[in-house]
Structure 1
Amino acid sequence: MIQPWTLLSSEMAFDHRWYKLRRDTVKLPDGRVVDDYFVSERPGVAIAVPLTTENNVILVRQYKHGVQAITLEFPAGTFRSESPATAAARELEEETGYSPNSMIDLGTCFDDSSKNSNLVHIFLASGCVLTGRQRLDELEAASGIEVVLMSLQEVTQALEDGEIKSMSSVAAGYKALRAIGA
């Protein structure tokens, strides 16, 4: 039978505006104590799989330093106080200049349930139209974000071929394709 661990104590090991790391002391079901189980305290993530009125999918190509690679992903970002749907629409507009007509909640998934504390909220953003221009934050603006339009078939191929590698984008892509029956 699966049993949860018992949290004995918790302290912030590293607290910076970009990264928070918590050190937990836990008691395992067999009685052993682990005094250095580290967890990244991360804000929620909202991701949009945007469809234009012409049924093209909007993606972003950008540099991600954690993997030191240029990635192809769906627009996404973190949030703390706004609703997940509002955050997904905001990230879409900031990164691409497109605004959605509607946001359909496709559910949540864990980012990395062993070492991260956050949830990823996935939305299908439909009826997207170009309403403005990108509003990138300072780090995004430093290297730029390329807006990429793809057909549903091209997105399916990019998921299958591994061109889209970010786990949250892979999950969001497959959930969205299933939701629209593609």
Structure 2
Amino acid sequence: MKFGKDFRSHLEGTLPDWKDKYLAYKALKKLIKTLPPDADQPPPPPPLPPAGHGDGGLGDWFARILDVELHKLNDFYMEREEWYVIRLQVLKERIERVKAKKNGAFTSKTEFTEEMLEIRRDFVLIHGEMILLQTYSSLNFAGLVKILKKYDKRTGGVLSLPFTQRARHQPFFTTGPLTRLVRE
């Protein structure tokens, strides 16, 4: 199966409020197809403001479009990662309160067990979402690499290497903190 189909099927199966947070893979692919082969002149001016990328050639124009996508990916990733850190801390505090209440505040063992089961369910849900966020990171990076290769192949440009190296240092790709949270 081609990457685009894999990407689309993953997008269809993801959480509804996450769908517009993914790389605009299909739109970028369509945009690349509109570019003339081995182009050295940009198409009509893009609807994006300049982002300070060099001489204004086609590569700079496309890099500005990808910068917007990177910004979108990073914003979403960092927002979700922060939410998980906060949510996990709240769950840990709930566990401590339940443990403290166990010494007399519960009317029955069942009440204690139900409270702990609810906390465990919340942990499982958050853990599942964190795994989805790791997948989000991997899938978007792979999509970005594919788009850059398509761009280079179509235009004869060399945008892939510098842009991929830059993307490797972006928050959505450096998933160390998220990986630590998942292991907790």
TM-score range, shorter chain: under 0.3
| Greater relative CO, 1 or 2 (CA 8 Å, sep 6+) | 2
TM-score by length of 2: 0.21
TM-score by length of 1: 0.22
The structure with more radius of gyration: 2
